[in-house]
Amino acid sequence: MTMDMSAEGENFVEDVKNELSRIDSLPVNEHADNFESVHQNLERALSTIDGL
């Protein structure tokens, strides 16, 4: 099974890009926690590819 770049997939990518842009505007001491949240979301999404 391959990941379909449906509207849902495209929305996820846009959400990640928006979150990364938002992190840039935060104080540096808040970056790590927010990057960790993005990382966890990416890991979850990647774990659904090919049934991993």
pLDDT score, position 17: 92
Determine the residue type at 34: N
Write 47-50 long-range contacts (CB < 8 A, 24+).
48/3, 49/1, 49/2, 49/3, 50/1, 50/2
pLDDT band per the 50, 70, 90 thresholds, residue 2: very low
Q: Which pLDDT score is estimated for 4?
A: 45
Binned at pLDDT 50, 70 and 90, residue 3 comes out as very low
What's the mean pLDDT in 4-12? 64
* 3 vs 24: CA distance, rounded Å: 29
- What are the CA-CA distances from residue 4 to residues 14, 16, 38 (Å)? 15, 17, 20
Average pLDDT score over residue span 9-37: 93
Longest dimension (CA), the chain: 40
